[in-house]
Amino acid sequence: MDKVIVRREQQSFAQSEGLDPLLAQIFAARGITSVRELERDLRALLPFKDLGGIDQAVKVLFQALEQKKHIMIVGDFDADGATSTSLAVTALRHFGAQKVSYIVPNRFEYGYGLTPEIVAYAAQQNPDVLITVDNGISSIEGVASAKSRGWQVVVTDHHLPGDQLPDADAIVNPNQKNDPFPSKAMAGVGVIFYVMLGLRSYCREQNWFERQEIPEPNMAELLDLVALGTVADVVPLDQNNRILVHQGLSRIRGGFARPGILALLEIAGKNPSKLVANDLGFVVGPRLNAAGRLADMSKGIACLLSTDISVARELAQELDTLNNERKEIEWGMREQAMQNLKQFKMSSNLPVGLCIFDENWHQGVIGILASRIKEMHHRPVIAFALSNENEIKGSARSVTGLHIRDVLDAIASQNPGLVTKFGGHAMAAGLTIPRENFSQFSAAFDQEVRKHLNDTELRGQILSDGELTATQLNLKTAELLREAGPWGQNFPEPVFDGRFEVVQQRLLKEKHLKLTLKTTNNNFIDAIAFNIDNNKWPNYHCDQIHLAYRLDINEWQERRQVQLIVEHMEAISSE
């Protein structure tokens, strides 16, 4: 079933004085009701004191500083986990911690989170305090194992908790039941940043920095990490997250990013001064994630922690090589998945909740595969790979309107023993099931998803902010939109649609389509469509085209010109 372009309802909001009318319309469509919600200054951040559990966490960590305890960070193997780990290590060292270390579970050996196996591995370094970042809220057994060794445990996480919480010394997670913190959308890196804000405040009250004769840390120096982890983890960009991302982007653009981030941008050919949030998600994030997908995320953390640009460049090169390898693996898996799906003659015959599995697939890449198949067929997808001889691991991706973790919870509750373990968010989740249960689980998943999605929701929709006039298709408008961000999850970059005359079309690298278009006022404008369907394009019978597009700025050899990034195109043939 092909995608359809749907225009958003044209609206504005009462308190929009001073705003450009186009921006007022775009912001209103994203739920903004007051210009106060658009503030991006750090003074508008929600106060850390409102975050449940933070006082107890701060007391444990301050005591660890005073008593020179060995503090160990237990991270996760994705970009959010890597930035969270790097932030915690950097901040604690600036606070004067005598011994700070970190470990990141290898996804292939230990799996996700603070498990008893990870605790046994951590015991080799004899820590006194464990801090989990971007994990831990479901680590009941792992926390118990750590506590049995006499260690203190501080859990910082943002994933949805289950019915039982770990018996940690402190838990900081805005998604805990009855937590008063207004924003439930922070990434793991945002949560640990808030904990460190609280710790700095407490250290200041105790005259810690004066007593230790060390400078009080500037927490803004950590915002490049917060921005990267927040965007890469695709959490909703509510106002609090938009402030964090905007401030982090501003530091990177101003040349104040850490060497690791600068090296990753350099190897991707991105100019830091022109950076937008999209670049963090699609340029830096994948290179960082490649380490956790194919090898060990410690390489990515080392890159982020590096203070030497030459060392950071070497590590960025290794991460770039891993990312290229990941792309090749993903391409092969996607081709195989599409071949397997050909057993369904039409996409309408696909299960509404789609499960796919091959014993040769790479466990570290199934999340990306699930995303790609979801995008192609506009339905929730779980891709599975072998974990061991008896179990398979799945990575789930959802569509708007379906809370994927709640679906997994319902299946597990209704079918005891069918699912070994699961966890995640509304749009993404992970699970483990016995291999022999794949067929039964697939049927249960399809049945449960059918309860929540109808035919309209299964049709891919592109929401358009309307049509730009020919006189709005210029650099001024493009710059206005760029600076109005950051754009991201639940606060999407504006997409427009309109008809154009096709002047020229040519294929780039056998998979991208470069277009020259004519507007209604006879001006010419460039457009590019990435990863096109070669069975449909180029189409030399097409002289008129209907596009859904984003307005972008193409910078090449010191030339700046407006360009359309095509999200969807429909040929309007004259024949």
CATH of the domain at 525: 2.40.50.460
User: Measured between alpha carbons, how far is 550 from 562 in angstroms, rounded to an integer?
Assistant: 10
Of the residues 450, 479, 509, the one at which a domain ends = 450
Q: What is the DSSP string of 270-281?
A: --GGG--HHHII
Asked if 438 and 479 sit in the same domain, the reply is: no
Low-confidence ranges of the chain (pLDDT < 50): 1, 345-347
Q: What stretch of H or E contains 244?
A: helix 239-253
Within-domain flag for 37: no
Q: Give the DSSP letter of residue 254.
A: T
Of the candidates 60, 88, 58, the residue with the CA atom closest to the CA atom of residue 72: 88
Of the candidates 137, 133, 121, the residue with the CA atom closest to the CA atom of residue 226: 133
User: Which residues sit opposite 551 in a β-bridge?
Assistant: 564
Asked if 443 and 475 sit in the same domain, the reply is: no
Asked if 444 and 479 sit in the same domain, the reply is: no
- Calculate ∠ Cα 521-527-528, nearest 5°: 170
Q: How many other CB atoms are found less than 10 A from the CB of residue 79?
A: 33
Residue 259, both tokens = 């060497």
Q: How long is the chain?
A: 575
Asked if 163 and 237 sit in the same domain, the reply is: yes
Of the candidates 353, 555, 546, 374, the residue with the CA atom closest to the CA atom of residue 443: 353
Backbone φ and ψ of 6, nearest 5° = -125, 125
Count how many Cα atoms sit within 13 Å of the Cα of residue 495 in the half-sphere of its side chain: 19
Q: How many other CB atoms are found less than 10 A from the CB of residue 17?
A: 7
Q: What's the sign of the alpha-carbon dihedral 344, 346, 348, 354?
A: positive
Asked if 146 and 289 sit in the same domain, the reply is: yes
Asked if 105 and 240 sit in the same domain, the reply is: yes
Backbone φ and ψ of 56, nearest 5° = -65, -40
Within-domain flag for 456: no
- We report the CATH number of the domain holding residue 305 as 3.90.1640.30
SS3 state of residue 467: coil
Q: What is the DSSP string of 283-321?
A: IIHHHHHHHHHHS-THHHHHHHH---HHHHHHHHHHHHH
The whole-number pLDDT of residue 147 equals 97
Within-domain flag for 533: yes
The whole-number pLDDT of residue 542 equals 87
Burial class of 516 by CB neighbour count within 10 A (0 to 12, 13 to 18, 19+): middle
Within-domain flag for 78: yes
SS3 state of residue 493: coil
The whole-number pLDDT of residue 107 equals 63
Q: Give the DSSP letter of residue 105.
A: -
Of the residues 424, 450, 476, the one at which a domain ends = 450
Question: Which contacts (CB < 8 Å, 24+ apart) does range 22-29 have?
Answer: 22/472, 22/477, 22/480, 23/480, 23/481, 23/484, 25/465, 25/466, 26/465, 26/481, 26/484, 26/494, 27/484, 29/465
- Calculate ∠ Cα 60-63-66, nearest 5°: 155
User: Measured between alpha carbons, how far is 244 from 228 in angstroms, rounded to an integer?
Assistant: 10
- We report the CATH number of the domain holding residue 385 as 3.10.310.30
Within-domain flag for 327: no
Quick one: residue 323, left, alpha or beta (phi over 0 = left, psi -120 to 50 = alpha)? alpha
Within-domain flag for 274: yes
Count how many Cα atoms sit within 13 Å of the Cα of residue 165 in the half-sphere of its side chain: 18
- Tokens 């770039």 belong to 320
Within-domain flag for 36: no
Q: Calculate the alpha carbon distances from 46 to 178, 190, 194, 197, 227 in Å.
A: 17, 12, 10, 12, 16
Residue 69, both tokens = 């305890």
Asked if 468 and 426 sit in the same domain, the reply is: no
Of the candidates 102, 101, 96, 103, the residue with the CA atom closest to the CA atom of residue 67: 96
User: Which residues sit opposite 16 in a β-bridge?
Assistant: none
Asked if 25 and 50 sit in the same domain, the reply is: no
Of the candidates 1, 2, 3, the residue with the CA atom closest to the CA atom of residue 461: 3
Asked if 278 and 402 sit in the same domain, the reply is: no
Within-domain flag for 325: no
Asked if 26 and 160 sit in the same domain, the reply is: no
Of the residues 286, 319, 352, the one at which a domain ends = 319
Per the structure, the complete domain to which residue 187 belongs is given by 46-319
User: Measured between alpha carbons, how far is 430 from 317 in angstroms, rounded to an integer?
Assistant: 29
Split into its structural domains, the chain has a count of 3
Asked if 164 and 245 sit in the same domain, the reply is: yes
Asked if 442 and 470 sit in the same domain, the reply is: no
SS3 state of residue 255: coil
Backbone φ and ψ of 80, nearest 5° = -65, -45
Q: What pairing do the DSSP bridges indicate for beta strands 512-518 and 524-529? A: antiparallel
